[in-house]
A and B are shown apart, each in its own frame.
Chain A
């Protein structure tokens, strides 16, 4: 069962514009949410996270928003840079159980 869903397999944006990556989850027991970034031939690397007690967390150009009632989170990247081109995975966690979405391939065009 796909408890974490990223419905957009790909996203293309222009350099300098905002990138918005979306993620939905079904299990209300998840209490921590994370975004990972993955380049080809490398393992995913942690990007940013948010606890279920918050609705926003910001780290430089990256902001994660959480809407618990809608079971939806999003990652905003402003401004987008070509180096941000990668696959982004959202993950939802409950205690020791972490589940990932299928990923969204972001391409930032110069």
Chain B
């Protein structure tokens, strides 16, 4: 079965712009979580969506938002980009969230803000 697909793989944006990242979960998975990975900070939780509803949220400013569609695909939006937003953004899917086998991750979107 297809894995978790994130698009685009790489993105370069200018400070102040906004960006939308996309994540297609494994077929049948209803939970999608987003993480930001930066050197030294590891994986920081952004938010989790389940059945089109945000179920959990991490400690990120309101510039970071997301949504989930009826087909479980999810998008993450970052507005008014800052240089510090440069990072690898990973999404992960699971059947219901909290799976005992954890989550399946996509390969990520590398965002560079210049």
The total of interchain contacts (Cβ-Cβ below 8 angstroms) comes to: 65
Q: Which of A1, A41, A43, A51 has the most CB of B within 10 A?
A: A43
Q: CA separation between A34 and B101, bound complex, in Å? A: 8
* B74 close to chain A: CB less than 8 A: no
**Interface band, chain A:** 20 to 34
Of residues 60 through 114 on chain B, the ones whose CB sits less than 8 Å from some CB of chain A are 90, 92, 97-98, 100-108
Q: Is the CB of A49 within 8 A of B100?
A: yes
Residues of B close to A41: CB separation below 8 A: 107
Contact of B42 among A32, A96, A102 (CB under 8 A): A102
| Pair B42/A101 contact, Cβ less than 8 Å | yes
Give A contacts to B, CB under 8 Å.
Answer: 1, 6, 9, 32, 34, 36, 41-46, 49, 51, 89, 91, 93, 95-103
| A-B CB contact pairs (8 Å), 22 listed | A1-B59, A32-B98, A32-B100, A42-B107, A43-B105, A43-B107, A44-B43, A44-B90, A46-B101, A46-B104, A49-B100, A51-B100, A91-B43, A93-B102, A96-B48, A97-B45, A97-B48, A98-B102, A99-B45, A100-B43, A103-B42, A103-B43
